[in-house]
Every structure is written in structure tokens, then in C-alpha cells.
Amino acid sequence: MNAFRANIFVRLGVALGGMALVSGCVTTAAGQRIPSRGVASDSNLEANEGIVYGAVLNSYLDYSSGNAVDLAKAPEIAYRLTTEIGPPTLLGATFSPFSTVLSPERGILGDNRQRRVLFAKRFTAGENSMNRIDFSYQQGQAAAPLFVRFNVAPGKATYIGSLQLSFRGGKGLFGEHRVRDFLVAVVDEYAEVTRMYRESNPKNTSETRSELMRVER
């Protein structure tokens, strides 16, 4: 498991709460409801397009002990994982006007009220990346760079893994939650998430393949 730890480095002036979270649920054959964020259909793909799909696994850890905190008792955190065409760059992750920070339709939106969130997005075939995370909770907003690469195969649906996103924090002077940093790692849940992806839309009939995203720093 390749993991990456990031300290929060930018404070934002605008809360992510102003962004619309594209919410929805996938109901599996067993009747289980799985939250989804803009699950795209793989029908009518262009010649140079493919689908990437996967999940975000949410958790919250106590900063001092490292123990997991029940999500029902953790601070509610909304986040956006920003993606861009091509490999990740620090410039693109922060201030570049060409970054898809300005194109949220390619971002992955979620929140930590649910343990697992399914996603599926259309991308140009080739190497692409997640280059930034923005998040907001009651006590503030912040952003940090990501260095995650994934490959998109034309005409196919590629499972890129389940991203374990673990925010870490603790209580402040007055008992309020304070997020200190976060960890990301990639988990392979190909069979389970592929089943969810198929059940999310009957039109998802393209050939599926697995090539896990790579966390580089």
C-alpha cells in the first residue's frame, strides 16, 4: 500500500459549502445503498475517451493516538479532489490558471458522512492525475497538493482503486474539532467496486480493467 501524508498548507477565503455536491445513491442487488458522486455512463464514448471509476473510503483519525473515530462523532468534512489532464504538477495544483480547479465537472466531490463514495468519470485517454484536495469543515477551510497518477484506456472502463482518505485531527482549547493533516493510500477493491459500478447504471457495459492509481509523494 503506497501512502502519502500531507500537511495543510493553504487557507481558503471561500468555504466549499458554497459548491454544489452532486449527491445520489446506488442501490445494489442486496438492497445496500452506496452514495455516489456523479457516476458517468460509459456509453457513447469518443474514440479518445475512457472511463475511470473507483471509490473514496473516508475515515477520521485521532491525531494523538492514531485511533479511528466513529464518523458519526467526527467533524463533517466536505472535500473536492481536483483532477487534470496529464501528470501532476505543483504549479497546476496551486496557482496555474490551466488547472481544473476551475473545472469542477472533472473533480471528485464527497464528504465524510459516508464510509464509501463511488465515483466514475470520463477522461481523455492517457495519463491523468489528481493534483489537489480542497476541504471545508465547521472550523475552517484548507487545501493541499496531491501527486496521484492514473491511466485511462480508450473505450474501456478502468478501475483505478479505492482511495483511502483519512483526515487526522483533535480537540481544540474549547473542545472544537481541528483538522491537522490527512493521509491517502490506495486500496484494491476491484471485484466489489466493479459490481457497484455495473449496478449504478444498466448502460455501463464497456469492458472493465484494473490499473491502480499511483501515489507518488
Q: Is 90 exceeded by the pLDDT of residue 212? A: yes
**3 state SS of 38:** coil
**Rounded to an integer, what distance in angstroms lies between the CA atom of residue 42 and that of residue 53?**
10
Mean pLDDT of 81-101: 55
Q: What is the mean pLDDT of the chain?
A: 75
Give me the pLDDT at residue 137, please: 85
Return the pLDDT at 36: 46
Find the domain containing 26 and state its range.
3-215
Mean pLDDT of 71-85: 86
The mean pLDDT of 183-204, rounded to a whole number, is 90
Mean predicted confidence (pLDDT) in 157-183: 87
CA distance 106 to 38: 10
Q: What is the pLDDT of residue 85?
A: 73
Report helix, strand or coil for 109: strand
| Backbone Cα Rg of the chain | 17
pLDDT for position 200 = 82
Q: What is the mean pLDDT of residues 93-107?
A: 44
Q: What is the pLDDT of residue 180?
A: 87
Alpha helices (H) in 63-150, listed in sequence order: 90-94
| Higher pLDDT, residue 95 or 199 | 199
d(CA 81, CA 38): 13
State the total domains in the chain.
1
Q: How confident is the model at residue 45 (pLDDT cuts 50, 70, 90)?
A: confident
- Other Cβ atoms closer than 10 A to 15: 14
Rounded average pLDDT over 97-120: 67
pLDDT of residue 94: 43
